[in-house]
Structure 1
């Protein structure tokens, strides 16, 4: 997570825009899961995020949060129904979008802050599994216990990239005007590397 003090300095509009930008980096994870599992509706999530950007750019734009949250509920995967890793980042994406919509409806900073936590959590869980797999392959002849250190997760380039990107987006949002141009710039910054927060090509 970025500096908590700086998060509290964001206006509600800036925090919402920052959170929407983070979800832009999570959405490809849901898309990959949806295509592999033939479950869900990436277009629905894409449309809902577009509606959020539209509301940010045009405050007078009407957005029925209750209806959108109900629609989102129908395409949230149950992790018990799928036996591959992709369901977890897909679930995180839905939870993040739900937090964004709920936070906007309630004008609640704490709910909006969940988005950054969910994005970081997706990366952390992915790295834990990846590091565990690497250890398992290295120790297959010794049957040594697999131990994942948080320090190893935090030091991994993918987590470093996540933290740097969150910080960069936060710094920009903190000094940005509440405008359509700011929305476009944040979205562009989030997608500039052409990859999701898990390194999946967009």
Structure 2
């Protein structure tokens, strides 16, 4: 399962705004893992995303040392082999998505370029990381439901169908969110107001992408 949005239709600025909005839904997942495992500092990621929003709102005046930001992010990135909790995976996805977003910002849009001329690998990666965090979590939820209902035993190999995954509210919400952000930003002006609207769209439910309440 994956999303295939036509990201080539977005400008460089619109791609960054789309990615920042998705990260708003991913950061609380990192914060929960960080607090539970006593690893990393969620404030570093929060501060970096705030800097990106500031750049989006005032790109002519805000200057960023992206290499320095990437160096700050590196020690906050968890190694999944060092933890035995599920939470490490969405936390890692958030760090990888933020890394890809800095790389997207680093790849300057060619002057007088059309959206189709801009490399879309980074934004595709961010979209996929956001979606994969949700799909992996939903798969675990569905497996737990089957075991709790005693519909299967521990020795059975369980295969969750794509239809079961697609019907889950969190999967539907993730797809709807990405589609709505894309449709909005495709025609949005590249200004502070559009930043605010995109951010509000991603946070409108007050929940992270995994349904965690945002404090």
TM-score by length of 1: 0.94
Query: Which runs of structure 2 are paired with 1:90-109 in the superposition (5 Å)?
Result: 90-107=91-108, 108-109=119-120
- RMSD in angstroms over aligned alpha carbons? 1.5
Are the counterparts in 2 of residues 19 and 113 from structure 1 also a CA contact under 8 Å?
A: no
Query: Which runs of structure 2 are paired with 1:36-185 in the superposition (5 Å)?
Result: 36-60=36-60, 61-107=62-108, 108-137=119-148, 138-139=150-151, 143-185=155-197
Runs (5+) with no aligned partner, structure 1: none
Aligned to 1:30: 30
Equivalent residue of 1:31, what SS? helix
Deviation at 1:143, TM superposition (A): 4.3
Aligned to 2:213: 201
Equivalent residue of 1:4, what SS? coil
Are the counterparts in 1 of residues 26 and 94 from structure 2 also a CA contact under 8 Å?
A: yes
Runs (5+) with no aligned partner, structure 2: 109-118
Deviation at 1:149, TM superposition (A): 1.5
Are the counterparts in 2 of residues 135 and 146 from structure 1 also a CA contact under 8 Å?
A: no
Count of matched residue positions in the alignment of Structure 1 and Structure 2? 201
Deviation at 1:150, TM superposition (A): 2.2
Are the counterparts in 2 of residues 127 and 153 from structure 1 also a CA contact under 8 Å?
A: yes
Deviation at 1:103, TM superposition (A): 1.1
Deviation at 1:56, TM superposition (A): 0.9
Are the counterparts in 2 of residues 76 and 91 from structure 1 also a CA contact under 8 Å?
A: yes
In 1: Cα distance, 2:66 partner to 2:187 partner: 28
Are the counterparts in 2 of residues 12 and 109 from structure 1 also a CA contact under 8 Å?
A: no
TM-score by length of 2: 0.89
In 2: Cα distance, 1:150 partner to 1:140 partner: 19
Say if 1:48 and 1:77 are closer, same or farther in 2 by CA, change over 3 A: same
Equivalent residue of 1:48, what SS? helix
In 1: Cα distance, 2:153 partner to 2:81 partner: 31
Say if 1:96 and 1:15 are closer, same or farther in 2 by CA, change over 3 A: same
